Amino acid sequence: AAEGLQDKYKSKCKGVDKCPTVPETVNSYQDDDGCPDSAVQVTDDALVILQQVNFVFNKSVIVKDSFPLLSEVAKVLKEYPRIKLVSVEGHTDLHGKPGPNMKLSQGRVTAVMKFLIKAGIDKKRLTTKAWGMTKPLITPEKTPDDAAKNRRVELKILQQDPK
């Protein structure tokens, strides 16, 4: 950065730009660092995805607008070879019957797993778990937004090498 610009733009620049050659992503994740942010965060026990994986209504078909998110998941898994086994876990909302919802969540996590394998992730690093409607985040579902939050894919780390 040119001398004096940090002071000139201090109301806009909150810290040192760690990635001066690429634009910042403003999505509430580490937005003071000047770097593009990932939609996938690695914690001790999960790959936390900050966006929803979307599917065709009542189907196990991934909507194309979720492809970049799942590609980001694959990229993160490639960057973290110490993560040996991830459980792709699927949840549905509380509408409908338990049996069909369990089948739907299994189909959806299988679709996610197939996407990740096609993106270059070894199938030995992936397993699936369907939860159907058994583990809602919000109950009762009072709004469509509540139901949407219950419909989710989670990525739990089951095995990894020490850091």
Which is more confidently placed, 12 or 89? 89
Identify the residue whose tokens are 């070879």. Answer: 81
Cα→Cα distances 129→51, 82, 104, Å: 20, 21, 12
pLDDT digit string (tens) for 112-149? 999 999 999 999 999 999 999 999 999 999 999 999 99
Which is more confidently placed, 113 or 40? 113
The pTM assigned to this predicted structure is 0.78
The band of 38, judged by pLDDT with boundaries at 50, 70 and 90, is: confident
**Nearest C-alpha neighbor of 109 from the set 137, 92, 95, 89:** 89
The per-residue pLDDT for 23 is: 57
Cβ distance 108 to 49 under 8 Å? Answer: no
Which is more confidently placed, 41 or 115? 115
Measured CA to CA, the distance from residue 130 to residue 92 in angstroms comes to: 9
Does residue 47 register a pLDDT over 60? yes
Share of the chain above pLDDT 70, in %: 77
The per-residue pLDDT for 1 is: 43
- Helix extents (H) in the chain: 5-8, 67-79, 98-118, 144-150
pLDDT digit string (tens) for 148-161? 999 999 999 999 99
